[in-house]
Structure 1
Amino acid sequence: MPTIEFFGYSDDERAILEHRVRERLDAEPFRGDCVFVTAARSRVRDWQGNERPFLRVSTRSVERAERFKVLLNDLCDLEIVQIGFNPMSIGEERDETNHGYGEQ
């Protein structure tokens, strides 16, 4: 699931940017897999103290990472994070009903 996070934007800026990102993703087959994360307001500044907001996209897919670059690179500063995934390996079969975490 590609995760899209906003850093250094005001609430209004983030809302506008999220709308634009959603517009650009609208025709993509993976759009329904994307999640948008908004945390507490943050400030992002460079060494000289200038504001440097950016969007971070985290994904396991190399192809999707490249697609995000094409779709969003002219819209905002963009950080792409390639996530590695290692499934849990234990001596028993994984119970898919609770994602392998045992009894709930």
Structure 2
Amino acid sequence: MPTIEFFGIQREARNALENQVRGLLAGEEFREDCVFVTAADSRVLDWQGRSRPFIRVSTRSAERADRFRKLLHHTCDLEIVRIDFQPMAESSPDEGQHNG
């Protein structure tokens, strides 16, 4: 599930950028797998105190990472993170019991 996060972008601009990103992804087969994360407003500043907003995309797929790079590189600074996802394991009846 590719995760798309917005950092250093005020609410109105963030909503507009999210709509733009959704439009760019509309033709992609994996669009239904994407999730958009909206957190509290944040500031992203460089060492000199200048604003440096960016989008972070986290994905497990190298192919999708490359596709995001091609689609979004004109919208905002872009950070792409390759992740490893481990779904929660179902516990067996014996699990969690320790023999003293």
The normalised TM-score by structure 2 is 0.86
Corresponding pairs, count: 93
The change in CA–CA distance for 1:89 and 1:14 in structure 2 (over 3 A counts) is closer
Deviation readout 1:45-101 (Å, 9 max, x if unpaired): 000000000000000000000000000001110000000235667995xxxxxxxxx
Q: Which residue of 2 aligns with 1:5?
A: 5
- C-alpha separation in 2, matches of 1:56 and 1:19: 16
Q: Which residue of 2 aligns with 1:96?
A: none
User: Of the two, which has the highest radius of gyration?
Assistant: 2
Q: Which residue of 1 aligns with 2:14?
A: 14
Q: What RMSD, in angstroms, separates the aligned Cα atoms of the two structures? A: 1.7
- C-alpha separation in 1, matches of 2:35 and 2:90: 29
Q: How does 1:1-80 map to 2 (within 5 A)?
A: 1-80=1-80
Residue 11 of structure 1, CA deviation: 0.3
The list of structure 1 runs, each at least 4 consecutive aligned residues, that deviate by more than 4 angstroms after superposition, is 86-92
Q: How does 1:81-92 map to 2 (within 5 A)?
A: 81-86=81-86, 92=92
Deviation readout 1:9-31 (Å, 9 max, x if unpaired): 00011001001000000000000
- Which runs of 5 or more structure 2 residues have no equivalent in the other structure? 93-100
The change in CA–CA distance for 1:89 and 1:34 in structure 2 (over 3 A counts) is closer
What letter corresponds to residue 4 of structure 1 in structure 2? Answer: I
Report % sequence identity: 63
